[in-house]
Amino acid sequence: MQSFSEIITDPVYHQPLKYNWYERIWLKHMNDKRDLPFIRLLTLIHLTILPAAIVLYTHLLQGIWWWMSAVTYFYFSQFYFKGSFGLMLHSCVTGKHSRHIRRLLQSIYTGLFVPFLDISLPIFIIPFLFARLVMMIGNWAQHAFVDPDEPENDLGSTINCINTIYNHKCWNDGYHTIHHIRPGAHYTEYPLIFRENISRIARNKTLVFENIHYLHIFFYLVTKRYDKLAANLVNIDHAFKNEPDAIVLMKSRTKKFNEARLIFSKKSVLECFLLSQAQQPAVCIPETSQPLSSDKRLRHSH
């Protein structure tokens, strides 16, 4: 188990001393200059991955040369660009224009898949399914630990991965607790908000891991290597006595729920949603809790 060193290496915003001509053009059309890394990423993808995909749809490459190029394309599109691009795209398609963006993407994909299915299979369909699998694994790991006593408590039922190269590549996605308590915050603010809430994080025994990310956590959980998880756990303000104490808590938060123990606050889901949309730092913690009847549980699950 690791102690909290107060040193966080994850990215925060620093005003550049100067901008190049390309960045100055985009700044005229941007609402937030902190989003310039998104522009740099999209520019790089337009100059590399998209032309490569177009070439693969032509007859310029044949036989073994086509397959070698397709494998290279798959590697760079999925392992080099996909994580950062996918998370950036997710933030774009969950806003007020999400419906139009999704329809546009569906139209493009349909136009490619139907007439060129044999080429689309290795270029789009298999990479898409692979990316979705990895994203689902990551999302599962983000929510794998749930406080059985207060399942609605975002501080007790989410995790964080700090001081990891993953945060530099994927817009501080490791700060999942911060994403829950301040969903409207810019990703460069996450480490600062984490520091501001450090006492609350320790008090709720929020799980904070260092130098690993969600795929590590998924692998350690499915192989039941709680010792590995405990070794990378950050012990903030001595919230845990030792590694065995931390392992006991982690196992309690991954234990299968007994339906009779599932309790929900009188605060409605709508209230919690409105609080999150208002970017309130408060967490929806049950004030008074009572078991739901079977018909209410059924409605809640939908």
How does residue 119 score in pLDDT terms, banded at 50, 70 and 90? confident
Which pLDDT value is given to residue 131?
A: 87
Residue 208 is inside which H or E element, if any? Answer: strand 207-210
Identify the three-state secondary structure at position 185: coil
Per-residue pLDDT tens over the stretch 27-58? 999 889 999 999 998 899 999 988 998 898 88
What is the SS3 assignment for 11? coil
* CA–CA separation, 26 and 39 (whole Å): 8
Residue 145: CB atoms within 10 Å: 21
Tokens of 139: 């999302």
pLDDT band for 100, please (50, 70, 90 cuts): low
Instruction: Please report which confidence band the pLDDT of residue 123 belongs to, taking 50, 70 and 90 as the band edges.
Output: confident
Distance CA 109, CA 152 (A): 38
Q: Which of 135-139, 222-226, 250-254, 268-272 has the lowest mean pLDDT?
A: 268-272
Nearest to 290 by CA among 259, 261, 253: 261
Q: Are 246 and 228 in contact (CB under 8 A)?
A: no
DSSP β-bridge partners for residue 289? 265
pLDDT at 115 (0 to 100): 66
pLDDT (tens digit, 9 = 90+) per residue, 253-267? Answer: 999 876 655 555 444
What is the Cα–Cα distance from 249 to 157, expressed in whole angstroms?
12
pLDDT in tens, 159-168: 999 999 999 9
Q: Are 147 and 157 in contact (CB under 8 A)?
A: yes
CA angle 197, 203, 206 (to 5 degrees): 75
- Residue 156 pLDDT greater than 80, yes or no: yes
Strand 234-235 and strand 207-210: the pairing is unpaired
Q: What are the pLDDT digits (tens) for 63-97?
A: 999 999 999 998 888 888 877 766 666 665 555 55
- Provide the percentage of residues in the chain whose pLDDT is more than 70: 75
Q: Which residues lie closer than 8 Å to 283 by C-beta, 6 or more apart?
A: 153, 154, 155, 181
Which tens digits make up the pLDDT trace of 177-211?
999 999 889 999 999 999 999 999 999 999 999 99
Q: What distance, in Å, lies between the first and last C-alpha atoms of the chain?
A: 39
Confidence of residue 292 (pLDDT cuts 50, 70, 90): very low
CB atoms within 10 A of CB 223: 9
pTM of the shown model:
0.78
Tracing tokens 């005229």 back to the chain, one arrives at 28
Is residue 112 very low, low, confident or very high in pLDDT (cuts 50, 70, 90)? low
* Top-ranked range on mean pLDDT: pick from 96-100, 118-122, 265-269: 118-122
pLDDT band at 118, cuts 50/70/90?
confident
Q: Residue 171 — very low, low, confident or very high, per pLDDT cuts 50/70/90?
A: very high
Average pLDDT of every residue of the chain: 82
**What pLDDT shows up at residue 69?**
92
Of the two residues 35 and 277, the one the predictor is more confident about is 35
Where along the chain do its domains lie?
20-140, 146-262
Residue 147's closest CA among 203, 104, 230, 210? 203
| 178, 190 contact by CB (below 8 A) | yes
Flag whether pLDDT at 7 surpasses 80: yes
